[in-house]
Amino acid sequence: MGKVEKLNQSDREQALIDQFLADNVLFLGPDPEIMEDHDIAPVTEIESRAMEKETDPAVLTLIRDRLQAGANEAFEMLEQMGAAPGAKWGDLITGVYTASGDLAVSSAGGVLLFAALVHHPVKFINKYWAGDPSVGIRPGDAFIHNDARYGNIHNTDQSLLLPIFHEGRLVAWAGATVHEGENGAIEPGGMPSLAEQVYEEGLKMSPFKVVENYELKKDLVTFLQNSVREPKLQYEDMKVKLFVCRRIEERVKSAIEEFGIDAVISSLRKGLDDVKTEVKRRVSAWPDGTVRTMVIADGTLRENCMVKINLALRKQGDELIFDFRGSSPEFANRSNNTLLSSLKGMLAQLFLVFVWPDLPRNQAVFAPIRVATDRKSALHSSYHTPNAQSMMTFFPAFTAGQAAVAKFLYGCPEKFTKVVAPWHNMIRTFIYGGITQHNEMVGNLCADLNGMGGGARADRDGEHAIAPIFAPMADLGEQELNEEEIPFIQIVSKKLMRDNQAFGKYRGGQGYEMIASSLGSPLWGFMVCCIGSKISSVPGLFGGYAAPTYPLCKVKGVDVFEIMKKDPRKFEFSIPDIMNKRPFEGASYTSHHTGLQFEVANRGELYMITQGAGGGYGDVLERDPDLVIRDIEEGLISRETAREIYHIAYNPETLVLDREATEQARQSERASRKARGVPFKRFLEQWVTPTPPAHLPYFGCWGDDRSTIFAGGPQRRMAADAIEPVYMPNPKDVRIAELERRLKELEQR
């Protein structure tokens, strides 16, 4: 911020102007020098000297393991003591940063993308507050932060950052970051999709000092408590994060006492340098070339539209470049925009969890990898565009990356994980808000977002509801514990739905049904924030099919608890049965896309969603017929799917497989494919259109030409180097206009 054009003045005059500007900064916005750089900081003189003094790899490893154990211990503490659902179920991270602010050791579990994102605020504090007499960095201080424009994903995640001193010198930082949930936004729960401006997204904390002499500053805590719907949670988790950072500080200081300051500094720095070198070596083993993928995000959460995420992943030598140019423009008044730094964090997660999980958990894993984007695109959004639901574009970007990486990895001799089809990528859960049975106001979310289905692997099926793409070893939570605190129950939970599957030689892991209903609250409501109800956001791999699409289903105008009392046999325990049989007279049954803004849910009304499946792997005709039978037995697929998708023949009464008939059926299907398939050239002639068809609300480039970006249809286009944010009409205005048009038509009859 605040850059000026250099004029032809004398050096002295220029120096005066520079000094004047430096002394009179009106506003310290996010610093592009910090925010656009994801590399590790240059080696400092202190680090250089320390690395000369302590070179023994055994000592350096011992220290790193000691600090790793400290970070893991802090993680456990935070998980056990934290009040936020996100803290209890693993949506957090703890770690040790170098004095320059690079995350050198992070906890093994948790939201590892934070590992590549919280260095930004530390670097901001170092650059701007260290020398500022009104702030400063002193022993016993700690800083709070949640504004993604200064680092991290979105402002529901709060960090506490504590400087660690040794003999009066800053030598490291301790940090703890948690998905806290509530942040005082226009909707409860911390991830508003209704927000049309950043100012509706709740608290936006640039890094500021909130702790002195290891004590939380009461005046600031009170202000923050007044700014959110969960004042108790805000206070409790600030205290917990402070304790956790102090424990990390204790571990760092005890390592210094045992091994000496040089050895600790050397270990932190060498760990980063070694990982960067190793990543380049590993990338070198991949084939040189370009892999292209795309994922269509089918909405903004307010309306359905086609938001293209376009990726060309280029690898040459030890260079790897994620080139997302050609993706959708940013949206001026929608919350699905991703900041460039957030995008990089999510891509770092891909490598930390799905490609090189053996590497030390630090930010150097992504340091040598480059990212290219169009400015003002949905993956490189501006300061003023909302970003609370950035996941709606950077999760698909992750998936585009995951599919592309698999195509580089398959033939590479050196692998550290299975080749895997894309993981499910949406947080299919309920965000909630309202007054609890204990008469307290809350706003947060169910940990079921952690139950994403795993992608199929190259030699086995994906696992059901196993883990989210953003956090290994996260938990789903205990519904019974939830019910003690919040006034709704999951009438149906953890039940797998038949055919909710990505088919393939190996099938994706499935998600489960959730049927929720409020009970015992004077005022309660739900939100849902996922894309993928018209176009799947999770493709398959190597001939496998994608995950299905997912609706939100609602039954309103009913109190099922009364029905359960009077005529319990009427209740059906699955979404398809409730929706298709419509057992409750007088109720309204509707299905929607899964972008539900906060809506009041009365006692006994049903809100129903399903977790999502991971992508399928390989040709369905290659699936072992015995596994198909097993899927029928386990209720995962219907008999129709077994027959029409997997082409197996069996006795429907005994489920005994007819191997010979199955082989014939599959041969026959292969022959049918050859008969119905057309040569590629003819397919192109019949299929390809020069621009998006008029009926598609399409955003992004069309085909290979990335210089033109479409912004909602074939006539609305802009140059890629001159993107303007797209302003979307209020869906209610769209609906009103539609109804008025119909009214007019009827009046004219």
Of residues 644-673, those binding another protein (CB under 8 A): 645, 669-673
576 makes contact with another protein (CB under 8 A): yes
Of the residues 266, 500, 510, 611, which one makes contact with another protein according to CB under 8 A: 500
Residue among 511, 523, 509, 586 at smallest CA distance from 555: 586
- Of positions 138, 166, 292, 494, contacts another protein by CB under 8 A: 292
Q: Which of 702, 709, 723, 728 binds another protein (CB under 8 A)?
A: 702
- Candidates 115, 253, 94; CA nearest to 171 is 253
3-state secondary structure of 473: coil
Report the residue from 353, 552, 665, 711 that binds another protein according to the rule CB under 8 A.
Answer: 552
589 makes contact with another protein (CB under 8 A)? yes
Tell me if 539 contacts another protein by CB under 8 A. yes
Instruction: State which residue, 232 or 581, has the beta carbon closest to another protein.
Output: 581
Stretch that binds another protein, among 364-372, 429-437, 438-446, 587-595 (CB under 8 A): 587-595
Q: Do 726 and 699 touch, CB atoms closer than 8 A?
A: yes
Please state, in angstroms and rounded to a whole number, the distance separating the CA atoms of residues 564 and 132.
64
Give me the least distance between CB of 483 and another protein, in Å please. Answer: 28
Count of residues binding another protein (CB under 8 A)?
99
Of 96 and 606, the one with the shorter C-beta distance to another protein is: 606
Contact between 65 and another protein by CB under 8 A: the answer reads no
Structure tokens at 408: 């580089």
Could you give the CA distance from residue 124 to residue 75 in angstroms, rounded to a whole number?
Answer: 24
| Residue 534 in the binding site for another protein (CB under 8 A) | yes
CA-to-CA dists, residue 491 to 139, 573, 575, 602, angstroms: 51, 8, 11, 15
Residue from 28, 359, 519, 535 binding another protein (CB under 8 A) = 535
Smallest gap from residue 509 Cβ to another protein (A): 13
Q: What φ, ψ does residue 162 adopt, rounded to 5°? A: -120, 120
- Asked whether position 739 contacts another protein by CB under 8 A, the answer is no
Q: Work out how close the CB of 682 gets to another protein at its nearest, in angstroms, rounded to a whole number.
A: 8
Residue 83 carries which side chain, given as an amino acid letter?
A
Distances (CA, A) of 69 to 72, 75, 99: 5, 10, 20
State the nearest-atom distance from the C-beta of 581 to another protein, in Å: 10
- What is the four-CA torsion angle of 706, 709, 712, 713, rounded to 10 degrees? -70
Name the minimum Å distance from CB 722 to another protein: 23
What part of residues 303-342 is at the interface with another protein (CB under 8 A)? 306, 316
Please report how close the Cβ of residue 540 comes to another protein at its closest, in angstroms. 6
In the complex with another protein, the residue whose CB is nearer, 168 or 679, is: 679
Helices of type H across 463-537: 479-485
> Does residue number 351 form part of the binding site for another protein (CB under 8 A)?
no
Range in contact with another protein (rule: CB under 8 A) among 17-25, 27-35, 71-79, 701-709 = 701-709
What are the start-end ranges of the E strands in 530-574? 552-556
Q: Does 620 bind another protein (CB under 8 A)?
A: yes
**383-422 mask for another protein (x: CB under 8 A)?**
------------------------x-xxx-x-xxxxx---
The residue from 2, 57, 131, 289 that contacts another protein (CB under 8 A) is: 289
Shortest Å distance, C-beta 579 to another protein: 5
Q: Are strands 441-445 and 431-435 parallel, antiparallel or unpaired?
A: antiparallel
Q: Does 635 bind another protein (CB under 8 A)?
A: no
Decide if residue 29 touches another protein (CB under 8 A).
no
Of 331, 261, 334, 323, which Cα lies nearest the Cα of 294?
323
Minimal CA–CA distance to 421: which of 343, 366, 502?
502
**Which lies closer to another protein via its Cβ, residue 261 or residue 497?**
497
CA 264, 267, 269 angle in degrees (round to 5)?
A: 110
Q: Are strands 319-323 and 370-372 parallel, antiparallel or unpaired?
A: parallel
Q: Identify the three-state secondary structure at position 279.
A: helix
- Asked if 678 touches another protein (CB under 8 A), the answer is yes
Asked if 471 is part of the footprint of another protein (rule: CB under 8 A), the reply reads no
CA 430 – CA 85 distance, rounded (Å): 12
- Token pair in block for residue 446: 């169910």
Positive/negative CA dihedral, 234, 239, 243, 246: positive
